[in-house]
Amino acid sequence: IGPGKGRRGYLRPETAQGMFVNFPRLLRFYREKLPFGAVQIGKSYRNEISPRQGVLRLREFTQAEAEIFIDPTDKTEPRFKDVASSELTLYPASIQEAGEEPIQMRLGEAVAEGTIAHESLAYYINLTYEFLTASGIDPKRLRFRQHRDDEMAHYAADCWDAEAYLDRFGWVELVGIADRTDYDLQAHTRVSGMELGVFKEYEKPKRQKVIKIKPKMNYIGPKFKKRAKQVVKTLEKLSLGEISGETITIEVDGEEIRLGSEAFTIETLIEEISGEKIIPHVVEPSFGLDRIIYTILEHSYREETVEDEVRKVMELPEKIAPIKAAVLPLLTKDELITPAKKIETKLKENGIQTTYDDSGTIGRRYRRNDEIGTPYAITIDYTTLEDETVTIRDRTTMKQIRRPIKEIEYLITRLIRREEKFNVP
């Protein structure tokens, strides 16, 4: 890097560390209260000896990671109660070691019996499950496998991989969700010398005995004159370990001074302490995006026979489909093209990704959109010219409904958000 060949550059093996380095800034952003988190997406690099399996094993891959900083003494999660009844396919280490099959288990139970280490980890396992299935991954081909002792990082308290089943590759890790404890923050603190902790207030301030040295001014003042101020300062700074017996020896301006009980008293005070500095632990869900996209495509794809022809369908969830609606004039005629283009523009203005297609038969255009996962196709036909209605076709069922043009963008928005179902009257 730079001029000449002197300096080596390195590519990061994970996106995570940037977030640890930014810890002081994040702490301030979140106004110094746990728990808080950050997310990062970007390229990471591994020097794979033999990259293979398509996008599954890449030297440059896309990673999305979250770091959730939590209180090490309290790993409960207030929102956990909302997901405790969620039932997932779990594959705990003990069951793997016994050579048995994965089990269905509610997260509440898994935490209660200690299968998953704590609520916070279980909460993010569930969030991962919801993200993956909402993105189009088949829950029946998805499981959460716990790391066995022999594969878990030495610093991790617990770690679960979201694994998906792929036709060609078997079970493949998509996401790792680990409690990495305070390993990273401690490591950065050690190397940088900057303490990466949070001041945690006690619920009630703690009262604590404190022993203090109190200089006697009426003795020190006249005796040390100009140096009196410095003697006092030095005395007050002493730690209790430095007081031995009845006298104290301090150093002021290079001179040793021995002081006895004429110069100070030792007092015992009760102080209120409002909190202490703690090093947060971190729950880290780490997503391999290339693999996730591959899995979404495989799990969403299906073929069926319709009228003696193979229909290829990409059953992408509405939110994930790159194109939400296709606008199709029934025929390539100006009187149909003009209103079709108007509808296309209107949908786009409403933030709905829309494609316009007038090339080929209507059947072929439906199939083309089925294949790329477009959930809805809007067809403009001669009835449109009579009564300002269009048909809307559902990719999954191939059923059609007829609706007024003026309701289209509202309807499509609600369908995409699943606020409304596609109901054939």
Residues that bind a copy of itself (CB under 8 A): 1-3, 31, 43, 47-50, 59, 359
Of residues 1 and 310, the one with the C-beta less far from a copy of itself: 1
Nearest distance from residue 320's CB to a copy of itself, in Å?
15
3-state secondary structure of 130: helix
Q: How far is the CB of 9 from a copy of itself (least distance, A)?
A: 8
Our measurement of the distance from residue 235's CA atom to the centroid of its chain's CA atoms, rounded to an integer in Å, reads: 51
8 Å CB contact between 119 and 276: no
- Give the span between the Cα atoms of 425 and 118, in whole angstroms: 48
Minimum Å distance from CB 3 to a copy of itself? 5
Nearer Cβ to a copy of itself, position 31 or 154?
Answer: 31
Q: Which is nearer to a copy of itself, 63 or 146 (CB)?
A: 63
CB of 350 to a copy of itself, least distance (A): 9
Give the residue with the Cβ less far from a copy of itself, 48 or 387.
Answer: 48
- Rounded-to-integer distance, Cα 13 and Cα 19, Å: 14
**Min CB(50)–a copy of itself separation in Å:** 8
Residue closer to a copy of itself by CB (options 359, 397) is 359
Q: In this complex, which beta carbon is closest to a copy of itself, that of residue 48 or of residue 407? A: 48
For residues 91 and 145, the answer to whether their CB atoms sit within 8 Å is yes
Minimal distance, residue 370 CB to a copy of itself, in Å: 17
The Cα 67–Cα 78 span in angstroms is 18
**Measured from the CB of residue 1, what is the shortest distance to a copy of itself in angstroms?**
7
Closer of 48 and 101 to a copy of itself (Cβ): 48
CB of 368 to a copy of itself, least distance (A): 11
Can you point out the beta strands (E) in 223-363? 248-252, 255-259, 264-278, 281-288, 301-306, 309-314, 325-329, 354-356
State CA 406 to chain mean position distance: 39
| Closer residue to a copy of itself, CB minimum distance, 48 or 309 | 48
CA atoms of 64 and 299, how far apart (whole Å): 21
- Residue closer to a copy of itself, measured from CB, 59 or 207: 59
CA 79, CA 343: separation in Å to the nearest integer? Answer: 42
CB 285 within 8 A of CB 176: yes
By residue count, the chain amounts to 425
Q: How far, in whole angstroms, is CA 48 from its chain's centroid?
A: 25
d(CA 87, CA 107): 6
Contact 197, 23 (CB under 8 A): no
**328 neighbors 358 (Cβ within 8 angstroms):** yes
- Closest separation between CB of residue 49 and a copy of itself, Å? 5
Helix axes 217-224, 228-237, angle to 10 degrees: 130
**Complex with a copy of itself: residue 47 or 423, whichever CB lies closer:** 47
- CB contact burial 256-285 (16+ within 10 A = b; e otherwise): ebebeeebbeeeeeeeeeeeeeebbbbbbb
Please state the closest distance from residue 83 (CB atom) to a copy of itself, in A: 17
